[in-house]
């Protein structure tokens, strides 16, 4: 076998599934008795998901409903970046966003993990917001995938295994 085998490590989220989870959360919040009269709502504004309620506990409950809908739709909570609740007038707000792509610090952590833990012939190269991992042995690449599945900082997918 003359050429190297490769695969790409990416962090992508299905936007349609996020939209579906958001719609389900909006319906549940509108129907649930414990959200009546507290001004609880969740909206998608551009890149941010904005949750509002009358108190910090209620806005965290809105977040909990949204997280449960994401999990049911197969979206990892590692790709949800949640801020801190803050007061805005008479209501409390909470902003969240969906992380897409692998940022530079995370990519560097992954390449360091591959250098330290993976078999020696495995090489990783950062290409924008994804990583290309290559080796002469497909078995070593599969060991590397198993190693990266234990990575905690990001939701990773493995594509283009050749």
User: Would you state the pLDDT for residue 131?
Assistant: 87
Same domain? 19 vs 92: yes
Q: What is the CATH number of the domain that holds 121?
A: 3.30.70.860
d(CA 89, CA 100) in angstroms, rounded, equals 32
Poorest-confidence range of 15-19, 125-129, 154-158?
A: 154-158
Same domain? 63 vs 83: yes
Q: Residue 142 pLDDT > 90, yes or no? A: no
| Chain center to CA of 34 | 28
Same domain? 116 vs 152: yes
Q: Residue 65 pLDDT > 90, yes or no? A: yes
> Structural domain tally of the chain?
2
Q: What is the CATH number of the domain that holds 42?
A: 3.30.70.990
Range of the domain at 143: 5-12+102-159
Banded pLDDT at 2 (limits 50, 70, 90): very low
If one compares 156 and 48, the residue with the highest pLDDT of the two is 48
Same domain? 70 vs 131: no
User: Would you state the pLDDT for residue 66?
Assistant: 93
Same domain? 93 vs 61: yes
- What are the start-end ranges of the E strands in the chain? 5-10, 41-45, 48-53, 80-82, 86-88, 91-98, 123-127, 130-135, 157-159
Q: Residue 128 pLDDT > 70, yes or no? A: yes
134 - beta bridge partners? 6, 123
d(CA 42, CA 35) in angstroms, rounded, equals 12
């Amino acid at each position: 076998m003359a050429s190297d085998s490769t695969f790409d490590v990416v962090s992508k989220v299905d936007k349609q599934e996020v939209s579906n989870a958001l719609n389900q959360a909006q319906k549940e919040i509108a129907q649930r008795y414990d959200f009546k009269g507290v001004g609880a709502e969740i909206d998608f504004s551009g890149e941010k998901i904005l949750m509002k309620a009358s108190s910090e506990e209620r806005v965290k409950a809105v977040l909990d409903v949204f997280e449960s809908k994401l999990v049911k739709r197969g979206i990892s909570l590692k790709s949800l970046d949640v801020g801190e609740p803050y007061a805005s007038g008479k209501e409390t707000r909470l902003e969240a966003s969906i992380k897409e792509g692998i940022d530079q610090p995370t990519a560097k952590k992954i390449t360091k993990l591959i250098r330290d833990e993976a078999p020696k012939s495995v090489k990783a190269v950062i290409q924008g917001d994804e990583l290309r991992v290559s080796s002469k042995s497909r078995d070593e690449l599969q060991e590397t995938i198993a190693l990266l599945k234990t990575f905690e900082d990001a939701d990773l997918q493995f594509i283009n295994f050749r």
